[in-house]
A and B are shown apart, each in its own frame.
Chain A
């Protein structure tokens, strides 16, 4: 169950406009926006970022999955907000707690969007562009290529051993661990065999034949990628400006929830009221 959340954060083969943005641009953007989101400490700027995020999520055709992932995250976010509102020892704890909650929503949204639109292949190609060794980049895209095979195979292995009378979910913990052995060994052995065969196959087709490998496809920046990169640099510059100058935000951006609405205060009022009721 806990792993199910990961399903909302993997790559989806689609043709959304965001899929066509260069992964390097997207990486830069997500770094810049993460820095800014973590640094900013006011409700209004957070809301602005959130409002900017919504059309992007729509553009990346992520809306449905995003809402579903939010549903998963809601209990966590609520818990974080309430605990912080009650326990933080700062001025305006409720404001801070809400900022924290917004930050979680924003970051999970942007990272979800990032992973949905950046394929493992994009990642390996970006690595090549950043002068990582080809074998490293190849390993990443190949691992991805074999995920469906591995999943299918694991299911077959479970079925095969069940058919030989293996009971996987019976007995005490020790026995259950022992019962995993007939599953784990074939899974491991087939994976080993596969990697040997794969190694033979790539070796036979000129693996590392020259130092100057060419690429049928390689990343090339388009005009919209330049815009994304400039925008990201702009966001980054803003972040640096705020860090270095430590400039206070204009008053209309620096809104705090007034003290009379603080969650902690409301809670204390309610608590004394209940106490009086029973005493």
Chain B
């Protein structure tokens, strides 16, 4: 599904400043987008508009042609999956299996459909061994994984994930990233709010930078994250590979900048072999 924000402004209190200030953007069906920004830039406020937890003071939010500012949240849950940052804020069931069934049961999904979806998720996340355990016994990373899975069970067409990689190790991040990639291949739109540079660089093609309630950049991740001022705006730091490329470029002007690991590797390889030829 397509998501469209049209001149959206929002503030929590008429006495305070706008947290979102005239925001307009479009996310196409099956896109994978990262939203970055400082704490307090309005990221969480923005994504709460996706499923109507917050309604804009001005402007329109559309999912396909549906104006969601007029829809109740309970209906939105079947269209948009929203996973909150801290798993402890939503896990409650006796065991992981029941936790995963909670969402579909709320939406009155048929049992057979529900079970196949859940089995699918359990297989991709490799959490079969956790099903019978209480969510409170799990480690932080496992809890985060279960809380994301418990949202994905509802088969929505749009997913919004707030800091999905918190507390996850490299292995789990990789699994999550490739799973989300697979979802977009199947036509699902995925939006991620994150500070995790490596995760964004490795998996998410488009990045939106939010600063002071406004969109200050929107484009290809590798371009956006190579811009020093934008990085500063988003409380991010320049990726190591970018630093490396810049230093190498100072040695040899012909060196092309990239922040893709494989590309950098090949470029360095080319640089070295060129060097060796000259020295011979």
A-side interface residues toward B, CB under 8 Å?
Answer: 153, 156-157, 159-167, 170, 181-182, 185-186, 189-190, 193
Chain A contacts for B103, CB-based, 8 A: 164-165
13 A-B residue pairs with CB within 8 Å: A153-B89, A159-B48, A159-B53, A160-B82, A163-B53, A163-B76, A164-B77, A164-B151, A165-B78, A167-B74, A185-B92, A189-B91, A189-B92
Cβ–Cβ contact A165 & B48, under 8 A: no
Task: From A156, A166, A167, A193, give the contact of B84 (CB < 8 A).
Answer: A156
Q: With A163-B151, A165-B78 as known contacts, state yes or no: A189 contacts B84, CB within 8 Å.
A: no
Asked whether B51 is an interface residue with its Cβ less than 8 Å from the other chain, the reply is: yes
* Size band of the interface chain B makes with A: 20 to 34
Cβ–Cβ contact A162 & B77, under 8 A: yes
A167 CB, nearest partner CB in chain B, Å? 5
CA distance A190 to B86 in the complex (A): 10
What secondary structure prevails in chain A residues at the interface with B? helix
Cβ–Cβ contact A160 & B136, under 8 A: no
A195 CB, nearest partner CB in chain B, Å? 13
A54 CB, nearest partner CB in chain B, Å? 29
Cβ–Cβ contact B73 & A163, under 8 A: yes
Chain A contacts for B86, CB-based, 8 A: 156
Chain B contacts with A in 214-246, Cβ cutoff 8 A: none
B-side interface residues toward A, CB under 8 Å?
Answer: 48, 51, 53, 73-74, 76-78, 80-82, 84, 86, 88-92, 102-103, 106-107, 136, 150-151, 154
Q: Which 7 A-B pairs have the closest CB atoms?
A: A165-B106, A185-B92, A165-B77, A163-B82, A160-B90, A160-B84, A164-B103
Cβ–Cβ contact B91 & A159, under 8 A: no
Cβ–Cβ contact B90 & A164, under 8 A: yes
Chain A contacts for B102, CB-based, 8 A: 164, 182
CA distance A182 to B102 in the complex (A): 9
Which single residue of chain A is at the shortest CB-CB distance from B147? A160
B120 CB, nearest partner CB in chain A, Å? 18
Chain B contacts for A181, CB-based, 8 A: 92
B98 CB, nearest partner CB in chain A, Å? 11
Which single residue of chain A is at the shortest CB-CB distance from B86? A156
Task: From A159, A164, A185, give the contact of B154 (CB < 8 A).
Answer: A164
Chain A contacts for B73, CB-based, 8 A: 162-163
Looking at A157, A163, A170, A185, the one whose CB has the most chain B CB atoms below 10 A away is A163
Cβ–Cβ contact B89 & A190, under 8 A: yes
